Structures are given as C-alpha cells and as structure tokens.
C-alpha cells in the first residue's frame, strides 16, 4: 500500500536518467528487461516521448494513433530550451535542429499600442507536421512501430490492468498499463480520470500561411488585444505559423465576416493583427483554419494502470509557449513510472503525485498569467505592467527556457 508523501514512494533514480545510463542506451539500444505490456495512445510529442522512453526501458510497447501522419495541428510551433532539453533526455537532441538550423533570437510583444522586446536564449520554430513526424521516424529507427488510423477506447480499468478496444483488432485487449496521450480532443476516460477543472477558457486557432510581412526571421512576434492574442513565427521553410487563443465570450469582427464560423474566427484573428498593423490574412485561410476545444483544463491524471500525459492530463494557456516541453516531460516521466513501479503498487496514484511534482514548479508562472488573461481588464493591466517592467519580462523569458 502506498503511503502519501513517504520518501520510499518517490521513484528511484533509474539508470536512464543518468548521463552514463543514457550513453549506454544510445550505444547498445537496450534498457532493463521487459516487465509490462504497455499501450501508448497518441503520437503527438507526449505519446512519442512516452513510447520511446518505455521501449528504452525494455517495456513491451503497443503504440497507436487515430490520425495518419504527417499531420498538422494547432500550435505556435516554438520549442523552447526546456523542450529541447527534454528531447535530449530521450536521445533525440538533434531531431529538431536537423529540421531547422537557426535558433530563435528575439521575442516581441505588442499590446495596448506598446511593443516590448526581449532576447531569447535559444529555441527553434518548426512546424508540427515535420516535428511530430521526425520523432515518429526516430522511434521507428529504434524498432518501435506506430499503428496509424487506429482509434483506442478504454473499456474498463480494474485490478492491475486496463481493458481496451483498438479499432483495427476484432477482440478486446488487456494491457498492464495505458499511457493516454490523446491531446485536447481525446475523450472517453472521465469515468476513471475525472475533470478537476472542466474545459473552459479560450479556443485555440491556427493556420500556416506562405508569408506575412512584418514577421521577422528568428523572432516570436506576439500581438495581444481584448479578444485574445496571436503568436506569429517563421518555421523551417519560411512559412508563417499563425496561432491564436481567442476569448470565448467575445466576437470582434463577427459582423463583417458573415455566417461561416471559420470566417468569423479568421476575422477575429485579423482584428487582433490589425492592432499591430499586421495582416490581414486572406479569406482563403479560413478553409485551412484549425481549431481546438476550450483550452484550460485539468483532470485526475492517474487511476490504476491508466495514466494521462501531455494535454490529455491538463493544459493551462499557450501564452508562455511551454506546452510541448510539458508534454514531452510528462511522457518521459510516465514511461519511467510504468517501468519502475512493481505490479503490486498503485501506479495511478504514484503517477498523480509524480505528475504534480514534475509540473507544479514549471506551470506556476503560466497559471498566474492565465488568471490575468482571463478578462479584458486583467489582460490590459498585465500588458501595462509588462510595458513598465520589461526587465521582469526578460527574467520570465529566461526562466521559461530553463532546461
């Protein structure tokens, strides 16, 4: 029986967490002997990191995703130094830099008629179609097979296992553990992993465009207004990724744009860009606009052998551009948890504690900003404070990039 907060419950240092262990794994391609049958659902960054790490531990991994790859998704596409450090932990340090050689150098935010600049200590911008595919390829080179276009459904979590239906198999299966890395859209597990904070807050919207004048190379450009904020960055091929978080209770520009919901969203993005004299994006972009459900959420992230990671466990806000780092780190930590916990232990409870320990210190700043961003008045106050104290902004940028 696990005793809360007992030092003996903390996960021991695994050889793969030490530099020597990682070197040995990279050299020999082996981890500890297979102990568990694990299903990883999702091949975004959280799922890929979990699958790669678990396989390195010697765990038997079945890995599925409902999508076919490469696929794009709503994202600001900026990998900060923390995310790059997390990729290095699974021996994938070079994959991002193989796709794009130039580091990000600057961060520029325009709000309430003022512009704040900060230097970035590093990081890169790469499209999610390329990045997620590169990680899947990396996994493949280590002998892991991803089964695409396969929908997973959790049927029951009982005893020491999880019953699952995979859409490409005729019989239901039982796994010792399931890592649920299904992002913002994967549902069907609330019976075992109830919401602690039900989805609410802004919607995510994104589109890749060939060009947008006013977006410099190697710079994250952000524009904030009462209706939400937009992030702009040039990715590996010079295209501009436009990603926005739009308030759900607002609707600037709806009137001019007519009835189509995507055209209305595009009009709102254009209205925000116009406050910084950028854009507009052409009406054709509406067809390619990708959207998300409400972003802010948190669920109990473990129950029995079912562990939620990445956005499936919870998400705060894209303002600080940390989601990919959180996703990769939680995927790695969940795989460690599965490999290092004996069958008699309560894996779900251990994971809840480990997940909270991992993310508490990394998410507090984003949570605090998210409170201010929740209302137009709070956002205005925040941006005014940022303009008055640019040194604090630069300090925060450094902190967010800590490895």
> Which positions lie near ligand FAD, rule CB under 6 A?
41-47, 64-67, 73-78, 83, 151-152, 181-183, 185-186, 204, 206, 243, 245, 292, 295, 310-312, 318, 321-325, 327
The least distance separating ligand FAD from the CB of residue 18, rounded to whole angstroms, comes to 26
Which residue number, 235 or 388, has a Cβ lying nearer to ligand FAD?
A: 235
The least distance separating ligand FAD from the CB of residue 4, rounded to whole angstroms, comes to 27
Which residue number, 66 or 274, has a Cβ lying nearer to ligand FAD?
A: 66
Which residue number, 29 or 107, has a Cβ lying nearer to ligand FAD?
A: 107
Give the chain's end-to-end CA distance (angstroms, integer): 34
The least distance separating ligand FAD from the CB of residue 13, rounded to whole angstroms, comes to 26
3-state secondary structure the chain: CCCCCCHHHCCCCCHHHCHHHHHHHHHHCCCCCCCCEEEEECCCHHHHHHHHHHHHCCCEEEEECCCCCCCCCCCCCEECHHHHHHHHHCCCCCHHHHHCCCCCCEEEEEECCEEEEEECCCCEECCHHHHHHHHHHHHHHCCCCEECCCCEEEEEEECCEEEEEECCCCCCEEECEEEECCCCCCCCCCCCCCEEEEEEEEEEEEEEECCCCCCCCCEEEEEEECCEEEEEEECCCCCEEEEEEECCCCCCCHHHHCCCHHHHHHHHHHHHHHCCCCCCCCCCHHHHCEEEEEEEEEECCEECCEEECHHHCEECCHHHCCHHHHHHHHHHHHHHHHHHCCCCCCHHHHHHHHHHHHHHHHHHHHHHHHHHHCCHHHHHHHHHHHHHCHHHHHHHHHHHCCC
Dist. CA 32–CA 51, nearest whole Å: 15
Which residue number, 185 or 282, has a Cβ lying nearer to ligand FAD?
A: 185
The least distance separating ligand FAD from the CB of residue 388, rounded to whole angstroms, comes to 26
The least distance separating ligand FAD from the CB of residue 24, rounded to whole angstroms, comes to 27
Whose structure tokens read 């972009």?
A: 285
Which residue number, 186 or 279, has a Cβ lying nearer to ligand FAD?
A: 186
Which residue number, 318 or 348, has a Cβ lying nearer to ligand FAD?
A: 318
∠ CA 148-151-155 to the nearest 5 degrees? 145
Pairing label, strands 240-246, 290-299 = unpaired
The least distance separating ligand FAD from the CB of residue 218, rounded to whole angstroms, comes to 14
The least distance separating ligand FAD from the CB of residue 22, rounded to whole angstroms, comes to 22
Which residue number, 49 or 350, has a Cβ lying nearer to ligand FAD?
A: 49
| CA-closest candidate to residue 95, choices 105, 107, 83 | 83
CA 151 → CA 40, 75, 113, 308, distances in Å? 12, 22, 47, 16
The least distance separating ligand FAD from the CB of residue 38, rounded to whole angstroms, comes to 15
What's the token pair of residue 186? 């994967």
Which residue number, 145 or 185, has a Cβ lying nearer to ligand FAD?
A: 185
The least distance separating ligand FAD from the CB of residue 186, rounded to whole angstroms, comes to 3
Pairing label, strands 240-246, 195-209 = antiparallel
Dist. CA 9–CA 337, nearest whole Å: 11
Which residue number, 35 or 148, has a Cβ lying nearer to ligand FAD?
A: 148
Which residue number, 29 or 122, has a Cβ lying nearer to ligand FAD?
A: 122
The least distance separating ligand FAD from the CB of residue 375, rounded to whole angstroms, comes to 19
The least distance separating ligand FAD from the CB of residue 61, rounded to whole angstroms, comes to 14
Which residue number, 6 or 68, has a Cβ lying nearer to ligand FAD?
A: 68
């Amino acid at each position: 029986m696990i005793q809360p907060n007992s030092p003996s419950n903390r996960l021991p240092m695994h050889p793969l967490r030490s530099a020597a262990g990682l070197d040995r794994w990279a050299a020999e391609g082996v981890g500890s002997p297979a102990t568990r049958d694990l299903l990883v659902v999702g091949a975004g960054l959280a799922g890929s990191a979990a699958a790669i790490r678990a396989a390195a531990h010697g765990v038997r991994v079945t890995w599925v995703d409902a999508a076919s790859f490469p696929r794009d998704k709503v994202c600001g596409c900026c990998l900060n130094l923390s995310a790059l450090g997390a990729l290095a932990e699974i021996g994938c340090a070079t994959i991002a830099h193989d796709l794009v050689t130039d580091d990000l150098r600057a961060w520029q935010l325009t709000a309430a008629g003022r512009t704040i600049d900060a230097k970035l200590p590093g990081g890169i911008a790469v499209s999610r179609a390329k990045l997620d595919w590169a990680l899947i390829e990396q996994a493949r080179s280590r002998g892991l097979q991803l089964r695409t276009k396969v929908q997973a459904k959790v049927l029951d979590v009982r005893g020491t296992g999880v019953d699952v239906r995979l859409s490409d198999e005729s019989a239901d299966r039982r796994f010792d553990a399931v890592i649920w890395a299904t992002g913002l859209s994967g549902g069907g597990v609330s019976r075992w992993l109830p919401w602690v904070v039900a989805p609410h807050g802004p919607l995510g919207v994104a589109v890749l465009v060939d060009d947008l004048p006013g977006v410099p190379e190697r710079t994250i450009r952000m524009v904030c207004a009462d209706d939400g904020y937009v992030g702009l960055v040039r990715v590996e091929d010079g295209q501009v990724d436009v990603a926005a978080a739009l308030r759900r209770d607002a609707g600037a520009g709806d009137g001019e744009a007519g009835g189509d919901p995507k055209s209305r969203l595009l009009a709102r993005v254009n209205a925000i860009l116009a406050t910084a004299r950028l854009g507009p994006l052409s009406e054709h972009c509406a067809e390619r606009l990708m959207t998300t459900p409400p972003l802010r959420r948190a669920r109990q992230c473990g129950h029995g052998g079912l562990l939620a990671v990445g956005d499936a466990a919870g998400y705060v806000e894209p303002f600080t551009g940390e989601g990919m780092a959180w996703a990769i780190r939680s995927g790695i930590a969940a795989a460690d948890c599965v490999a290092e916990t004996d069958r008699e232990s309560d894996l779900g409870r251990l994971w809840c504690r480990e997940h909270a320990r991992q993310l508490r210190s990394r998410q507090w700043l984003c949570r605090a900003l998210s409170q201010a961003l929740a209302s137009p008045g709070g956002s205005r106050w925040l941006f005014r404070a940022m303009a008055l104290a640019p040194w604090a902004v630069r300090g925060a940028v450094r902190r967010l990039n800590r490895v």
